[in-house]
């Protein structure tokens, strides 16, 4: 085991290549990984030497990746995980374990925060960071070679001699988000290496808040929690200025779960973006609250440079929206779409097919609602009962998993791994296949899409982001 000097280490942070085994002509969209950029920033701020390898953006294989890690010779390797990249994260960790057995492997992120037992019991990771990782990873770096000291670090899970899954005290969420340094994008590939629908490059994501007070049954709150925590307006505007001045940024993605939950704050930030004239284009990719969109906010969004926004809608049946804990009135959705369209924005919407309370008829109502809204690009997802969510517990109690409920095959848009009450896997599959055909294969929609995109590049990214869904699920 490599020894650290003066409490400072060399840390290699890795984003797994989710394209491994996927032909390049059907790339899955991927944007710069904000969470990893924050981890790189806090580690560097504390005096550590940090290298980031985004294997997905650079599309490098495992052998190439291992060679680059070896050349850097780090004290530990940090691998980030989410639901989408969990398989590739495990594959990456196992390969690096074999290639560099003396190096400590740290894993974290939403998926690892739930599935830490698998990662430890199968010797995939030496230690797992649970939840928000910025404070934990800095403290771990200071004591990376002292496993006994790990027991005193909040937010860790690892194996000890007499306990295969030793979990330390939970780490409180970070209250002062302004205390975090700006993401270390200088350690990452150019944003032009990333695959995402955009209008201008360079582009970068920004998160102005963390946490969501709503209690949707399909969401896990292990990473950012329920409490709505806000960065100051000054801090947000300073980051935008930093991105523009240092990276020539021309577009930002605001990826908050609920940017406009505090409407007064949202309007003030937009007013300041307008006043400072950053000449940016803005896109809200994660979904903004439909019931917090007013005509005045719509005008401010447009004036600030917003060209696209997505709404988290989830279902077209009001009783199901209430049952899943969304806390949303669908009448507000209709008004929000109208306001955004009146201000010239491309409007998207997220829908889930296969809520536990669904049946085939209610899923058809959801598809009909999406069509009636005249959204520009709705996205339909098969319900995913992720461990750590209320939906997962509900199916454990009242339904049936077709696997053990934790198999990686269950974390795929191509499969449905459960049944409950009047909801059956074949009905979800049938509704999902129908959803994209019903919405996108209408002549009027095809014409609108062709007219909507301002460049061949933008239209090409749209095709790349949807072709896998069409090929896999239309027929």
Token pair, residue 38, equals 């924050």
- Residue ranges per structural domain of the chain: 10-167, 197-473
DSSP 155: T
Burial annotation 295-328 (CB, 10 A radius, 16+ → b, else e): eebbebbbebbbbbbbbbbbbbbeebbeebbbeb
- pLDDT, one tens digit for every residue, the chain (475 residues): 565 566 689 999 999 998 876 654 445 678 899 999 999 999 999 999 999 999 999 999 999 999 999 999 999 999 999 888 898 999 999 999 999 999 999 999 999 999 999 999 999 999 999 999 999 999 999 999 999 999 999 999 999 989 999 999 999 999 999 999 999 999 999 888 887 778 888 999 999 999 999 999 998 877 888 899 999 999 999 999 999 999 999 999 999 999 999 999 999 999 999 999 999 999 999 879 999 999 999 999 999 999 999 999 999 999 999 999 999 999 999 999 999 999 999 999 999 999 999 999 999 999 999 999 989 989 999 998 988 899 999 999 999 998 765 556 556 667 898 999 999 999 999 999 999 889 888 777 767 766 766 666 666 666 655 555 555 555 4
Q: What pLDDT is recorded for position 128?
A: 98
Q: What pLDDT is recorded for position 468?
A: 54
**Which residues are CB-contacts of 201 (< 8 A; sequence separation ≥ 6)?**
191, 192, 250, 251
Question: Are 81 and 99 a contacting pair, CB within 8 Å?
Answer: no
Total residues belonging to the chain: 475
DSSP 83: T
Considering only CA atoms, which of 171, 191, 177 is closest in space to residue 252? Answer: 191
CA-CA distances (angstroms) from residue 43 to 40, 46, 50, 65, 66?
5, 5, 7, 21, 21
Helix (H, G, I), strand (E, B) or coil at 59: coil
Q: What pLDDT is recorded for position 462?
A: 62
Q: What pLDDT is recorded for position 197?
A: 79
Helix (H, G, I), strand (E, B) or coil at 18: coil
Considering only CA atoms, which of 9, 13, 119, 108 is closest in space to residue 69? Answer: 13
CA-CA distances (angstroms) from residue 92 to 78, 311, 386, 472?
11, 34, 22, 26
Radius of gyration of the chain (CA): 22
How far apart (Å, rounded) are the C-alpha atoms in residues 369 and 375?
10
Q: What pLDDT is recorded for position 228?
A: 94
Strand-pairing partners, residue 35, are: none
Return phi, psi of residue 157, to 5°: -135, 135
Q: What pLDDT is recorded for position 3?
A: 59
Q: What pLDDT is recorded for position 475?
A: 47
How far apart (Å, rounded) are the C-alpha atoms in residues 215 and 394?
14
How far apart (Å, rounded) are the C-alpha atoms in residues 54 and 192?
13
CATH 3.40.50.300 fits 197-473, yes or no: no
- pTM comes to 0.93
Helix (H, G, I), strand (E, B) or coil at 251: strand
CATH 3.30.565.10 fits 10-167, yes or no: no
């Amino acid at each position: 085991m490599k020894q650290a000097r003066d409490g400072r280490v060399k840390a290699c942070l890795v984003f797994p290549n989710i394209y491994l085994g996927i032909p390049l002509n059907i790339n899955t969209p991927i944007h710069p990984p904000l969470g990893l950029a924050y981890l790189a920033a806090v580690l560097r701020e504390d005096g550590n030497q940090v290298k980031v390898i985004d294997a997905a953006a650079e599309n490098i294989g495992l052998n190439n990746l291992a060679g680059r890690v070896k050349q850097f010779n780090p004290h530990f390797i940090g691998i980030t995980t989410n639901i989408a990249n969990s398989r590739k994260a495990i594959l990456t960790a196992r390969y690096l374990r074999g290639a560099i057995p003396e190096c400590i492997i740290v894993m974290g992120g939403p998926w690892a925060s739930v599935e830490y037992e698998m990662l430890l019991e199968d010797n995939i990771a030496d230690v797992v960071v649970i939840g928000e990782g910025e404070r934990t990873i800095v403290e771990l770096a200071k004591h990376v070679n002292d496993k006994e000291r790990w027991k005193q670090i909040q937010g860790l899970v690892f194996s000890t001699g007499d306990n295969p899954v030793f979990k330390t005290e939970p780490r409180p969420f970070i209250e002062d988000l302004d205390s975090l340094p700006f993401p270390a994008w200088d350690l990452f590939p150019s944003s032009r290496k990333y695959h995402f629908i955009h209008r201008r490059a360079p582009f970068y994501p920004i998160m102005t808040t963390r946490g969501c007070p709503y209690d949707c049954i399909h969401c896990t709150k292990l990473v950012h929690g329920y409490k709505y925590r806000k960065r100051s307006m000054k801090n947000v505007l300073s980051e935008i200025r930093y991105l523009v001045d240092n990276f020539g940024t021309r577009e930002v993605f605001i990826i908050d779960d609920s940017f406009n939950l505090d409407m007064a704050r949202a309007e003030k930030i937009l007013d300041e973006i307008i006043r400072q004239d950053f000449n940016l284009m803005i896109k809200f990719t994660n979904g903004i609250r439909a019931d917090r969109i007013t005509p005045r906010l719509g005008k401010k969004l447009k004036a600030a440079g917003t060209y696209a926004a997505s709404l988290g809608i989830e279902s077209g049946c009001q009783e199901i929206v209430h049952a899943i804990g969304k806390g949303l009135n669908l009448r507000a959705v209709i008004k929000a779409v109208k306001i955004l369209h009146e201000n010239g924005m491309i409007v998207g919407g997220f829908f889930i097919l296969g809520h536990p309370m669904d049946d085939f008829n209610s899923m058809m109502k959801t598809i009909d609602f999406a069509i009636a809204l005249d959204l520009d690009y709705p996205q339909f997802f098969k319900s995913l009962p992720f461990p750590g969510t209320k939906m997962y517990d509900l199916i454990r109690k009242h339904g049936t998993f077709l696997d053990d409920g934790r198999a990686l095959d269950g974390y795929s848009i191509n499969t449905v791994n459960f049944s409950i009450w009047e909801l059956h896997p074949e009905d979800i599959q049938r509704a999902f296949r129908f959803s994209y055909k019903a919405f996108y294969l209408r002549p009027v929609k095809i014409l609108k899409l062709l007219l909507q995109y301002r460049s061949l590049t933008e239209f090409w990214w749209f095709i790349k982001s949807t072709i896998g869904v069409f090929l896999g699920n239309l027929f």
